[in-house]
Amino acid sequence: MRMNLLKQRVHPLKSLFSTGFSTQRLDVCAFQSDDASEMGAGFDSPDVWRFSTGIDTVETAGLWLAGTLEDPAQAALTVRLRHTRDLVGFLVLSRWRGDRVELGGWLSSFFWNQGFGGELLEELKAGVIDAKGDCSLVAEVDPSNGPAIHLLERVGFVLVDGVWSAM
């Protein structure tokens, strides 16, 4: 998967991910409204939502994700295990300050500490490039979200002016 960010000026962000992508263990595809109905065990922990402003339950997350379907500046993606199709989580990509792509997301607590977050971020870093061939991903992370910060650092993001940027 390679996404040329020059196309963003012409096409909505979500159209660039309409066919999805895969990693060694995961399939990532465009979010469909039915996907939210699969959130259950693993998403019922308050720790899954604790850093998401305005989202604190499976229900509010599902409504928020469904709302991204109407916004061409956002792409919500569903993450599943390749071989079992089990729901692992969701990614949301949004335009950020014109030429960058902000990422966010949630993983089911059943899949924490198994390397899935790093696997996803490495693939996104390789695929979200700008006209110069540089990665354009950024993440705004609550400073108290140690696990997310550790993950970003592990895959090569650096903190610049309060925003985590892929390098």
Which residues neighbour 59 within 8 Å (Cβ) at sequence distance 6 or greater? Answer: none
pTM for the complete prediction? 0.82
pLDDT in tens, 102-147: 888 888 999 999 999 999 999 888 777 665 666 678 999 999 999 9
Do 103 and 137 meet the contact criterion of CB atoms below 8 Å apart? yes
Q: Token pair of 118, please?
A: 């790093």
Comparing 8-12, 49-53, 113-117, the range with the smallest average pLDDT is: 8-12
Pairing verdict, β 3-4 and 21-22: unpaired
Q: What is the CA radius of gyration of the chain?
A: 15
Helix 116-127 vs helix 146-154: angle between axes, to the nearest 10 degrees? Answer: 50
Domain range summary for the chain, segments of one domain joined by +: 3-166
Comparing 3-17, 46-60, 143-157, the range with the smallest average pLDDT is: 3-17
Residue 13's pLDDT band, with cuts at 50, 70 and 90, is low
The CATH H-level superfamily of 3-166 is: Gcn5-related N-acetyltransferase (GNAT) (3.40.630.30)
So what's the pLDDT on residue 15?
53
Do 124 and 137 meet the contact criterion of CB atoms below 8 Å apart? yes
Task: Give the chain's mean pLDDT.
Answer: 81
Q: Token pair of 105, please?
A: 């997301």
CA distance 87 to 81: 7
Pairing verdict, β 157-160 and 163-166: antiparallel
Q: Burial code of 37-48, b = ≥16 C-beta within 10 A, e = fewer? A: eebeebbeeeeb
